[in-house]
Amino acid sequence: MAEDEGPTIELRQRKKPKSSENKESAKEEEINSTPIPERVPKHILFQRFAKIFIGCLAAVISGMTYVLYLSAYHERKFWFSNRQELEREITFQGDSAIYYSYYKDMLKAPSFERGVYELTHNNKTVSLKTINAVQQMSLYPELIASILYQATGSNEIIEPVYFYIGIVFGLQGIYVTALFVTSWLMSGTWLAGMLTVAWFIINRVDTTRVEYSIPLRENWALPYFACQVAALTGYLKSNLNSYGERFCYLLMSASTYTFMMMWEYSHYLLFLQAISLFLLDSFSLEQSDKVHEVYRIYIFSLFLGYLLQFENSALLVSPLLSLVVALMLAKCLQLNVKKETFVAKIMKVINFYLVCTLTVTLNVIMKMFVPHKENGHMLKFLEVKFGLNMTKNFTMNWLLCQESLQAPSQDFFLRLTQSSLLPFYILVLVICFLSMIQVIFRRISGKSLKETITLEDGRIGERPEIIYHVIHTILLGSLAMVIEGLKYLWTPYVCMLAAFGVCSPELWMTLFKWLRLRTVHPVLLALILSTAVPTIIGLSLWKEFFPRLITELMELQEFYDPDTVELMTWIKRQAPVAAVFAGSPQLMAAIKLCTGWMVTSLPLYNDDDFLKRNENIYQIYSKRSAEDIYKILTSYKANYLIVEDAICNEVGTTRGCRVKDLLDIANGHVVCEEGDKLTYSKHGRFCHEVKINYSPYMNYFTRVYWNRSYFVYKINTVISFQS
């Protein structure tokens, strides 16, 4: 009993002083808490506010300036405001013309619902074919633009074409602003954002295609991807508060889904991003919880996109879904394994192999059970591209001859070097990559990462957001080195990463740590260089490139194509409304936009039927008989044939990549030795022979219109054989 009472008495005796101590400590906390605002000088608070305010203002001004620049350059290039509607529409080339034509169709529809129905059950574009144009051509941007144009009452203020172009240019402003913010988040200074924008605009030939093809899907989609990357960069930061983390998460979710809806190839780019996050997580460079939250965003966006994109099976068989599911299954296998045990280390070693195996297995299983048309021609193209297969197929060889699908030229690297972008990018990438390797070896050796990294530590490789960007830019750069068209995905982030590096004191400090600099205080020198180097770069860029930009805006160019204007005018005035036109896919897209008449083919390369149609119609430039061409055209119910002199007499393209050369190879109509056999064609080239107007060509085709560039032939329904 005495032993029991002792502690109780002791506890009671301790309670009073504890309460008094609490009161005294509470008073002390109140006393200490009241002067907290005074401990932070007002001028420091003002500096912080001024820094954020000026940075946000600079980001917005940069985006608006770029929009104004694009608008002014587009006006000067095409003299757009002084053109008639037909001449404006001709400036939309190739697949850009298709996208804008459906925007026009939506505005002409009696109601939005009716317009959507006509696009999803479209049988007025391609002969003998009903297509879901919204799904097949990713027309969600046109749907949004049309409903905004009518809902905002803009039809009383601005012409439809200016509204459409204005939205695309506005998105490019958001694109630039997002890159600005990403570089700012990584470096801690808005000076990096300014340098990012400067390099982006100076290298715009290699950073964007918006000047040449405004309605392209990537011009609508990539701004949202840039916003997603900016949000992901903030989300991965270690010192982010809960409110900032929540905002980044919501922005990332919204931009990921929107990006996926805008571009049919978006899930491939997100697949590369998921690989980057997987590698980041594998080396324990970031909390796994954050990375797996991003995986959940991917899954949500994929399934929501699948439902709202008319059950698009391409999203179910995408490598992104297979990878994310494999990553989550691999995580479940590791949940019950205690950390720092031998089994845990073994699981870490085999985790990479496990994820790769599961990803491939799941993707194969999905493709076995889910009916899909997942761009089979892309795999065949890659096989031929890397020399794994040989083919005489016209479509494959035509794709290989496209400049955007070849390896980058020396001019590309020369342009990036002249603007000083490439040298600084390589410097920043090497430093960050080596620092990342150091961090990985520390983790392998069992050393833990520091919770808080100071400038004096010089360990930029311990920041997860930096490592993510290093891995991501290496993946994108590897693809850009193979296919030049992918440089538009890589080069903007080259601008951002290079600008971040030269403006980051932490990067300079990492370099000085390796060099063991002792003559000058390294921290002071890092702070000086992080301001001096970007300032010098900015001044040199201003001196060399700003006059060129001004000169471009001052030069008044003119888009002059009277032959095409005359052709479209003749079709609208002379051709029957129910007529079907055949010709090159690029010209057919222009006819669809400018006249609304039905065509036999379109410049679309994501569908096997369209690819086959394009190849068949291109036979008008091959060495085939008049009867063969007639049978091909009538099989598509064509009424008129348009022969383009530029293709028939093509001389500018490299020999072997001209359309007529590729057709001769595919048809076996070239003199080539195959064993002891020589092949040749007994017929002349159709596009030449039909112009001579003699039998049997005149029996099948009657010329009804021609100018310097185009020859239009009516396809005879009743053939009269003349001697």
Residue 41 domain-assigned? no
Of 41-55, 415-429, 530-544, 603-617, minimum mean pLDDT range: 41-55
Both structure tokens of 148 = 């905004």
Same domain, 222 and 324: yes
β-strands 580-582, 640-644: how paired?
parallel
Of 334-343, 458-467, 517-526, 706-715, minimum mean pLDDT range: 334-343
Same domain, 471 and 514: yes
Q: What is the pLDDT of residue 98?
A: 94
The answer to whether residue 22 scores a pLDDT higher than 50 is: no
536-560: pLDDT as tens digits? 999 999 999 998 888 888 877 767 7
Same domain, 178 and 327: yes
- Asked whether the whole model's pTM tops 0.85, one would answer yes
242-257: pLDDT as tens digits? 888 999 999 999 999 9
563 burial class (0-12, 13-18, 19+ CB within 10 angstroms)?
middle
Residue 174 domain-assigned? yes
The answer to whether residue 677 scores a pLDDT higher than 60 is: no
Q: What percent of the chain has pLDDT over 90?
A: 53
Same domain, 219 and 333: yes
The answer to whether residue 266 scores a pLDDT higher than 60 is: yes
Q: Which residues constitute the domain of residue 704? A: 560-713
Residue 24 domain-assigned? no
- Which residue in 201, 210, 191, 226 sits closest to 419, CA to CA? 201
What value does the mean pLDDT take over residues 129-137?
Answer: 91
Q: What is the pLDDT of residue 313?
A: 86
631-640: pLDDT as tens digits? 999 999 999 9
Q: What is the mean pLDDT of the chain?
A: 85
The model's confidence at residue 5, banded by pLDDT at 50, 70 and 90, is very low
Place of tokens 């036999």: 600
- Across-strand partners of 677? 674
Same domain, 290 and 409: yes
The model's confidence at residue 406, banded by pLDDT at 50, 70 and 90, is confident
Q: What is the pLDDT of residue 25?
A: 47
The answer to whether residue 136 scores a pLDDT higher than 80 is: yes
Same domain, 544 and 569: no
- Which residue in 192, 204, 201, 206 sits closest to 537, CA to CA? 192
**Of the residues 532, 552, 572, the one at which a domain ends:** 552
478-522: pLDDT as tens digits? 999 999 989 999 999 999 999 999 999 999 988 888 888 766 788
Place of tokens 């072997």: 656
Q: What is the pLDDT of residue 651?
A: 79
The answer to whether residue 216 scores a pLDDT higher than 60 is: yes
Q: What is the pLDDT of residue 676?
A: 41
What value does the mean pLDDT take over residues 267-273?
Answer: 95
Check which CATH number belongs to the domain holding 690 and give it: 3.40.50
What value does the mean pLDDT take over residues 680-687?
Answer: 85
What value does the mean pLDDT take over residues 566-580?
Answer: 93
Same domain, 409 and 338: yes
Q: What is the pLDDT of residue 244?
A: 87
Q: What is the pLDDT of residue 334?
A: 65
Residue 665 domain-assigned? yes
Same domain, 411 and 545: yes
Q: What is the pLDDT of residue 457?
A: 67
Both structure tokens of 245 = 């983390």
The residue among 574 and 349 whose pLDDT is bigger is 574
The model's confidence at residue 683, banded by pLDDT at 50, 70 and 90, is confident
The answer to whether residue 155 scores a pLDDT higher than 50 is: yes
φ/ψ of residue 584, rounded to 5? -65, 145
Residue 60 domain-assigned? no
Contact 285, 439 (CB under 8 A): yes
The answer to whether residue 38 scores a pLDDT higher than 50 is: no
Helix (H, G, I), strand (E, B) or coil at 581: strand
Q: What is the DSSP string of 609-675?
A: HHHHHHHHHGGGGSS--HHHHHHHHHHTT--EEEEEHHHHT--SSPTTSSHHHHHHHHHT-S--EET
322-364: pLDDT as tens digits? 999 999 888 877 655 545 555 656 666 677 788 888 899 998 8
Same domain, 577 and 436: no
**Of the residues 552, 578, 611, the one at which a domain ends:** 552
Of 17-26, 156-165, 341-350, 433-442, minimum mean pLDDT range: 17-26
Q: How far apart are CA 601 and CA 616, in angstroms?
A: 10
The model's confidence at residue 18, banded by pLDDT at 50, 70 and 90, is very low
The answer to whether residue 13 scores a pLDDT higher than 60 is: no
- Which residue in 268, 182, 292, 279 sits closest to 218, CA to CA? 268
- Which residue in 366, 365, 360 sits closest to 315, CA to CA? 366
Q: What is the pLDDT of residue 7?
A: 39
What value does the mean pLDDT take over residues 33-46?
Answer: 57
Same domain, 640 and 513: no
Both structure tokens of 534 = 């970007």
The model's confidence at residue 429, banded by pLDDT at 50, 70 and 90, is very high
Same domain, 533 and 633: no
Residue 170 domain-assigned? yes
Q: What is the DSSP string of 432-482?
A: HHHHHHHHHHHHHTTPPPPSS--GGG--GGG-HHHHHHHHHHHHHHHHHTT
How many structural domains comprise the chain?
2
Residue 80 domain-assigned? no
φ/ψ of residue 624, rounded to 5? -120, 160
The model's confidence at residue 371, banded by pLDDT at 50, 70 and 90, is confident
The residue among 439 and 191 whose pLDDT is bigger is 191
The answer to whether residue 523 scores a pLDDT higher than 60 is: yes
Same domain, 632 and 670: yes
The answer to whether residue 203 scores a pLDDT higher than 90 is: yes
Contact 613, 601 (CB under 8 A): yes
**Of the residues 523, 552, 581, the one at which a domain ends:** 552
Residue 45 domain-assigned? no
Give Cα separations from 330 to 273, 282, 356, 357, 370 (angstroms).
Answer: 18, 11, 10, 11, 23
β-strands 677-678, 673-674: how paired?
antiparallel
